Chains A and B, each alone.
Chain A
Amino acid sequence: MVNSQTNAIGIIFPNSYDVLVPDLVNVRLMASIPFASRYRLIDFILSSMTNSDIGNVSIMVNNNYHSLMDHLGSGREWDLVRKNGGLNIFPPFAEKNSKPYVGRVGALAGISNFLKGQKEKYAVLTDTNIAVNFDFRAMINAHIESGADVTIAYNEQELPESLLQSQSNGKCFYYTFDIEGGKVNKIYVNSKESGVQNFSMNIYVIEREKLIDMIEEAFIHGHEYFERDVLIPRLNQMNVQAYKCDKYIARITDLKSYFHENMKLLDEYNLNALFEGPSVYTKLHGGNPTRYIDGAEVHNVMAADGCIIEGEVENSILFRSVKIARGAKVKNCVLMQGTVVEAGADIEYLVTDKNVTITAGKEMKGTDTFPVYIAKFQNV
């Protein structure tokens, strides 16, 4: 057969790190959080897979996944409607006594028969809390060349404040590691080290059959976490390689980082860096261009299509179909789809969820270090 596809399946964990952004995932999960004015976080990883010719993608949804199902539909926008492979969505298998997954082990054990039935040699595992235009093909090639058992992608950055200060570390794990000659020597769980770290992106490449063996064994022993319970104990027996990602990365670790990662895209250098390379696909909506009516004052703004702007907007991110009435003032805000800011309202440092209305004349202000979040459908 002509080798048009990459010899790997993709497995995505869309609920990972939900606990870091409780407000944003109240009505959704990490993967379907709106980002960068017209995308949802999963669009980046999913498009990267498509652009790396991974045509067999499984999504291990756990809870709050209606919005994600709606977003993905049949997977057409990502070219994942296929006779062989394509997009598979695996909710937890509902049985007596069944619970949502705790970690990757339980999730993957539940689909081990599916995994055994696939033909691809490799498996790629990833979360969705990072927006990156990732080159999976390059990573898989590096994995093959190095002869590794497991390859982990990482970037070099300081640990975000929110993780350093987090009290909820018992429910949420993040990983940093020491690297020697490309090999991961030691993996730290929830490190509090300051300075630049080798910060895991939780993207893994592993042979599919090896993955099945590891998962089945771990599951029998009642283990839950792939990293803590499978990788770390075997680090000495296995060849675990590190793969450095130099691409632009937007990592969401709390509401504040969500706000700032959006805002950073107002700098065209960052925007162009994030979208450099192949296209990022998303669900397409029937929409018209954004209309700037005479009298609008717009500076330093990223907007999706379908907005109607009559008021003043500065340093803000507008998602689809946002309406800003005459005389309204919007500064340093992230306004999700369908937000309406009525005449004379004055808002600053707000993150409004979908279909929020700020009624006429209201004044509402957060701060740079503490943006105020307004939940879906709220009328302020």
Chain B
Amino acid sequence: MAKEMIAMLLAGGQGSRLYALTEKLAKPAVPFGGKYRIIDFPLSNCVNSGIDTVGILTQYQPLVLNEYIGNGQPWDLDRLYGGVHVLPPYQKANKADWYKGTANAIYQNISFIERYDPKYVIILSGDQICKQDYSDFLRFHKEKDAEFSVAVMEVPWEEASRFGLMVADENDKITEFQEKPKNPKSNLASMGIYIFNWDILKKYLEEDEADPTSENDFGNNIIPNLLRDSRRMYAYHFNGYWKDVGTISSLWEANMEVLDPEHSGINLFDEDWKIYSRKSAMPGQLISEDAVVKDAMITDGCQIKGTVKHSILFEGVKVEKGAVIEDAVIMGSSVVKAGAVVRHCIVAENVTIGENALVGAMPSGDEKGVATVGSGITVGAGAVIGPNAMVNQNVEGGGEQW
């Protein structure tokens, strides 16, 4: 039986700009928003849009991601026919290759896609925080009788040259593609989410593979080739919340925006578009007598005795007496010991911040750094971690890192 549309989710990137956070796990597995990981967003979008078959292309540090996805049950993707499949590169009879680029990753899984004989394939990216109805995108694609559609966001003109831009006419038909141009002709930034007619995608993937000079990349190769051949290409305008969380500061910012759903547009409390995640079993959060909790999101298993302001705490975080946490993202099972002050930073999982240690600082003047402490790190008692520090090794008591 054929599927109308299946999703291919690109989750193989290293996410090198997240440094310490992605040393041991792929970017889509980075925890987000108190009890999610980044990949929960595209997966939940798929399910909420009616897509029940998702291939996840992995390559870099896949262990955490593989275990997290498991059989796909938390997203209702444990299906008899379809469901979620993790697709690492594998050895074929005549050769074996890593995924050389985004297009090559899909090319190497043509036989996976053909098992479902889909009419359309949606290509998703595993490093964005976005709530999007892909079925509306597909409706647009069909209405335009398109062969290829790309989701675009309007960005401020002054920032346009940081993006891949789609130049489109009044019917949304794409006439030109500019990759990070000096002189932008459009402010429609590609979100890296594409719908292809499967026959077209397959044809261009095979052609691209045959070209030894190609980088095997959607943006650099496939899209220019489609344009060259004057294919029916359209730009689908998306105006909801969208954030590429590829950098420490954007990841921190997106987490902070979760705290303010009324203004930021990212509402995790929306019953009509739930974001699903794999959960652990921890008892309820305990806010003790002396605790001060203001404008925060706190998760099961946390025990709070100190002060928590404008911060997100993941499962099982312990904040001891007299500790202060402000404008911070503290990931699962980390401990902030008595008297420590943790501000304007990201602390990864299973970190211990020693007594009276000082991590990060509130922005002052041009100094807006988000200090980052990698997973499993111990910051010793009384240590000082500067606002631009990227900590990936234990810091001794009384030590400093800037």
- Interface residues, chain A, with chain B CB atoms under 8 Å away: 36-39, 47, 76-77, 266, 268, 271, 274-275, 279-282, 284, 286-294, 296, 298-306, 308, 317-318
Nearest Cβ on chain A to B167's Cβ, whole angstroms: 39
User: By the criterion CB–CB under 8 Å, are B288 and A303 in contact?
Assistant: no
B287 CB-CB contact with A under 8 Å: yes
Q: Determine the chain B residues whose CB is within 8 A of the CB of A294 once the complex forms.
A: 294-295
Closest beta carbon of chain B to A314's beta carbon, Å = 9
Distance in angstroms between the alpha carbons of A299 and B307 in the assembled complex: 12
Q: Residue of B at shortest CB range from A314? A: B289
Cβ-defined contact, B287 with A38, below 8 A: no
| Distance, CA A294 to CA B296, complexed state (A) | 8
B295 near A301 (CB under 8 angstroms)?
no
| Residue contact A304 to B300, C-beta cutoff 8 Å | yes
**Is B293 on the interface with A (CB-CB < 8 A)?**
yes
Instruction: Give the chain A neighbours of B268 by CB distance below 8 A.
Output: 288-289
Chain A residues within 8 Å of B287, by CB: 298-303
Q: What is the CA–CA distance of A281 and B280 in the complex, to the nearest angstrom?
A: 8
Contact with A along B24-40 (1 / 0, CB 8 A): 00000000011100000
Q: Which residues of B contact A298 (CB under 8 A)?
A: 287, 291, 293
A274 to chain B, nearest CB (A): 8
Min C-beta distance of B262 to chain A, whole Å: 10
| Shortest distance between the CB of A47 and any CB in chain B (Å) | 8
How far in angstroms is the closest Cβ of chain A from B303? 6
In the assembled complex, 20 residue pairs joining A and B whose CB atoms fall closer than 8 Å, in A order, are A38-B283, A76-B73, A275-B283, A279-B280, A280-B281, A282-B281, A284-B74, A284-B279, A286-B275, A287-B35, A288-B268, A288-B269, A292-B297, A300-B287, A300-B288, A301-B286, A302-B285, A302-B287, A305-B300, A306-B269
Residues of B within 8 A of A293 (CB): 295
Known contacts A284-B279, A305-B300, A306-B269; 4 further A-B pairs (Cβ under 8 A): A286-B277, A290-B285, A292-B295, A294-B295
Residues in A whose Cβ lies below 8 Å from that of B293: 292, 296, 298
Contact of B289 among A271, A281, A287, A299 (CB under 8 A): A299
In the assembly, what is the distance between CA of A23 and CA of B178, in Å?
Answer: 68
Residue of A nearest to B313 (CB): A289
B35 partner residues in chain A, CB cutoff 8 A:
287-289, 305
In the complex, A249 Cα to B156 Cα: how many Å? 61
Query: Cβ of B297: which chain A residues have Cβ within 8 Å of it?
Result: 288-292
What is the CA–CA distance of A330 and B281 in the complex, to the nearest angstrom? Answer: 27
- Nearest first, the 4 closest Cβ-Cβ pairs linking A and B are A37-B284, A289-B34, A289-B297, A294-B295
Alpha-carbon gap, A357 to B33, bound state (A) = 29
- Write out the residue numbers on chain B whose beta carbons fall within 8 Å of the beta carbon of A281: 281
Find the B residue at minimum CB distance from A309: B293
Cα A290 to Cα B287 in complex, Å, equals 12
Closest to A317 in B: B284
Mark B309-337 against chain A: 1 for CB-CB distance below 8 A, else 0: 00011000000000000000000000000
Q: Are A290 and B281 in contact (CB under 8 A)?
A: no
A304 surroundings in chain B (CB, below 8 A): 284-285, 300
Task: Tell me the chain B residues, 346-373 only, with Cβ under 8 Å from chain A.
Answer: none
A266 contacts B295, C-beta separation under 8 Å = no
CB distance from A250 to the nearest CB of B (A): 12
- Which A residues lie within 8 Å of B300 (CB)? 38, 304-305
Instruction: Give CA–CA (A293, B263) in the complex, Å.
Output: 14
Assess whether B299 is interfacial by the CB under 8 Å rule.
yes
A47 to B279, CA, bound (A): 16
Complex-state Cα separation, A271 to B282, whole angstroms: 11
Closest to B303 in A: A268
A355 CB to nearest B CB, Å:
14
Contact among A288, A300, A303 with B285 in the assembled complex (CB-CB below 8 Å): A303
Q: State the CA gap A275–B301 with chains docked (Å).
A: 11
Residues of A within 8 A of B73 (CB): 76
A299 touches B283 (CB 8 A): no
Cα distance A39–B284 in the bound complex, in angstroms: 9
B276 within 8 A of A: yes
Contact B283 A271 (CB under 8 A): yes
**Cα separation A156 to B5 with both chains bound (whole Å):** 63
The contact of B269 among A274, A292, A300, A308, by CB within 8 Å, is A308
| Chain B residues positioned under 8 Å from A287 (CB to CB) | 35
Q: Is B3 an interface residue (CB 8 A)?
A: no
- Distance between Cα atoms of A342 and B219 in the complex (Å): 52
Across the interface, do A290 and B276 meet the contact criterion of CB distance under 8 Å?
A: no
Q: How far is the CB of A282 from chain B (nearest CB, A)?
A: 6
B 97-155 contacts with A by CB, 8 A: none
Q: Which residues from chain A contact B283 at a C-beta distance below 8 Å?
A: 36-39, 271, 274-275, 280, 302
Nearest-neighbor residue (CB-CB) of A43 within chain B: B281
Q: Given A268-B286, A291-B269, A292-B294, does the pair A286, B276 have CB atoms closer than 8 Å?
A: yes
B65 contacts the other chain (CB 8 A): no
Min CB gap A310→B, angstroms: 11
Q: How far is the CA of A301 from the CA of B293 in the complex (A)?
A: 11
B173 contacts the other chain (Cβ, under 8 Å)?
no
Residues in A neighbouring B279, C-beta threshold 8 A: 284
Interface residues of B in 5-38 (CB under 8 A from A): 33-35
Q: How far is the CA of A304 from the CA of B300 in the complex (A)?
A: 6
Give every chain B residue within 8 A of A280 (Cβ-Cβ).
Answer: 281, 283
Instruction: Give the residue name and chain of the B residue nearest to A285 (CB).
Output: B279
Report the nearest A residue to B36, measured CB to CB: A288
User: If the complex has contacts A279-B281, A298-B291, A298-B293, are A292 and B286 also in contact, measured as CB distance less than 8 A?
Assistant: no
| Residues of chain A contacted by B34 (CB below 8 angstroms) | 288-289
Do A292 and B298 have beta carbons less than 8 Å apart?
yes
State how many angstroms separate the Cβ of B305 from the closest Cβ of chain A: 9
The CA of A288 and the CA of B296, in the complex, are separated in Å by 12
Confirm or deny: B185 has a beta carbon within 8 angstroms of a beta carbon on chain A. Answer: no
B274 within 8 A of A: yes
Q: Which of A37, A291, A294 has the most CB of B within 10 A?
A: A291
Residue of A nearest to B259 (CB): A291
In whole angstroms, what is the CA distance A284 to B315 when docked?
14
Is there an interface contact between B299 and A290, defined as CB atoms closer than 8 Å? Answer: yes
